[in-house]
Amino acid sequence: MKKVGVIFGGMSNEAEVSVMSARNVLAQLDRAKYEPIAIYWQRDGRFVRVPDADHLGVITPLAIEEITKIVDVVFPVTHGKFGEDGVLQGTLEAIKIPYCGCHVLSSAICMDKAIFKALMAGANIPQTSYVVLDYTLHSDEQIADTIARAKRELALPWFVKPANSGSSVGVTRVQAPDKLATAIKVARSHDTKVLIEQGVMDAMEIEVAVLGNRDLIVSTPGQIAPSREFYDYEDKYVVGASTTRIPAPLDATVLARVRTLAEQAYHLADCRGFARVDFFVRNDEVLLSEINTLPGFTDISMYPKLMEAAGISYRDLLTRIIELAF
């Protein structure tokens, strides 16, 4: 019986979502095959062993190298910086322990929206129009020029977002140019690199679940219908009033196009194990949004729902993900 270390929590502003995902993963692991080991990554950076995701105060401290002595494989259920951007993955590789999901390179590429978009653009994958503000590399004059270009070339509304963040944290929908500065300030509080992205009016938000390394299972697309002006953190995890449709109401040609682009983007970003690929679809126009290399496993998360619609139960899905780590 393999011991599966479920690492969750972390130092990002998405740690609470991680705990919700871990609660389900720990409960659904097949006990006939696996012994779950709950490992909580505290906000101060320390790893501790806990009984489960509901008792985070009952801890046994763990040095990182001790993880190799108590688990055979790690299932990361971490979101955001440090957990989803290749940092945790690199740490696990350094101590030579197998882990589920995307490796260092693909995790880093998909976490940084600016790098990801540049890679996809090089392969002519259709995307929304955007500009990048890099407050580390660009001068004040370059930043001002880029903002001016965004105002000239990008149609409203704009979505202003940190390049390295997830769960829509730090994202603002901007309806008027005089609101842009405030939105940039919000995004900069999460990252030094900011994207201004042109919104796609009247588009459906479409998500596709992908499973595998070389030979892939690509789910039928599903639709997210937000209850607010866009699918933000509150709608995802607090209010939870958004609705989903699986399969999405797409005609056969568009559906096939979405699935083909999902597979192309997954391989292009060198993804492994599993990921969720997100799109905007308007009529017959399909635009890639992003790849989430560690999608949520909460009660309302789309990834396990899409795989369930493909005939793969939550428990079987976890088993397949673990097997792909070896």
Annotated catalytic residues are: 14, 167, 237, 276, 278, 290, 292, 296
Q: Identify whether the C-beta of residue 309 lies closer than 8 Å to the C-beta of residue 19.
A: no
Give the residues across from 131 on adjacent strands.
Answer: 196
Q: How many CB atoms lie within 10 A of CB 315?
A: 14
Of the candidates 227, 233, 171, 221, the one whose C-alpha atom is nearest the C-alpha of residue 199 is 171
37/57 Cα distance (integer angstroms): 16
Q: Tell me how many degrees the CA angle 136-198-121 measures, rounded to the nearest 5.
A: 70
Q: Answer for the pair 290, 113: CB distance below 8 angstroms, yes or no.
A: yes
Whole-angstrom Cα distance, residue 24 to residue 247? 24
Q: Are 171 and 184 in contact (CB under 8 A)?
A: no
Q: 10 Å Cβ neighbour count for 237?
A: 18
* Other beta carbons within 10 Å of 217: 15
CB 70 within 8 A of CB 2: no
Cis peptide bond upstream of 247, omega within 30: yes
| Among the listed residues 271, 282, 278, the one whose alpha carbon sits nearest the alpha carbon of residue 221 | 278
